[in-house]
Structure 1
């Protein structure tokens, strides 16, 4: 494998791992912790039916308003890719949101997402753009 291809493949593997760890953190410590841990300072989060959230401080404020009712968001990477430079990449996958209401009834929603990742100066991957939409339950 030539050096450029090796750099790209290493970045793809790192982005996939970052995305999986992002989901694990969401499952274990909640969406607010996960999103604020993995977001870049210049993040843009696309919101269904609302204006995008722009910037880390706005994202943190948005996440602080999430209900703490035991909702759990997890996702699975289906595809990851990166630029040959190894500085930018994306993930695409499926998400699942499990909510509990006051009667402890569970409802599950499904969807797809895309996340754009950028290598930071310290070498860590942080997302700069994230969005998704709901879909029927996967078969």
Structure 2
């Protein structure tokens, strides 16, 4: 493998692992904690049916308004790619939000997402753009 291809492949592997760890944190510690932990300072989060959330402070404020009702957001990476430079990449996948209504009945929402990741000065990957939409359950 040539050096440029090796740099790109290393970035792809790191981004995929970061995205998977992001989902694990969301499942175990909550969506708010995960989104705040993995967001870059200049983050933009697309919101279905609403204006985007722009900037880390706005994202933190948005996440603080999420009720702690036991909803669990998880996702699965289906595709990852990165620039030759190894500084920018994306993940695409499907997500599931599980919650319970007032009677305790389980409710699921499904969708797809795309997240753009940027390597930070300290070498960590943080998302700079995240968005998705609801879909019927994907098989």
Q: TM-score, normalised by structure 2?
A: 0.99
CA distance in structure 2 between the partners assigned to 1:63 and 1:134 by the alignment:
19
CA contact (8 A) 1:72 1:99 kept: yes
- Taking the TM superposition and a 5 Å limit, the aligned residue runs for 1:32-111 are 32-111=32-111
Are 1:123 and 2:120 matched, yes or no? no
Q: How far apart in 1 are the matches of 2:100 and 2:85?
A: 43
Q: What is the rounded CA distance, in whole Å, between the counterparts of 2:97 and 2:11 in structure 1?
A: 28
On the 8 A contact 1:69/1:101 being kept in 2, the answer is: no
Encode CA deviations 1:38-73: one digit per residue, 9 max, x unaligned: 000000000001000000000000000001100000
- Residue correspondences, number: 139
Shift of residue 99 of structure 1? 1.0
Structure 2, unmatched stretches of 5+, are none
2: CA distance, partners of 1:97 / 1:27: 10
> Aligned equivalents of 1:137 and 1:47: distance in 2?
19
Gaps of 5+ in 1: none
Aligned-partner Cα distance in 2 for 1:94–1:49? 19
Per the alignment, residue 25 of structure 2 pairs with: 25
- CA distance, structure 1, for counterparts of residue 86 and residue 68 of structure 2: 37
Q: How many angstroms does 1:102 deviate by? A: 1.9
- CA deviations 1:74-120 (Å, max 9, x no partner) are 00000000000000000000000001122211100100000000000
1:32 & 1:104 partners in 2: Cα distance? 22
Q: Whole-Å Cα distance in 1 between the matches of residues 69 and 105 of structure 2?
A: 12
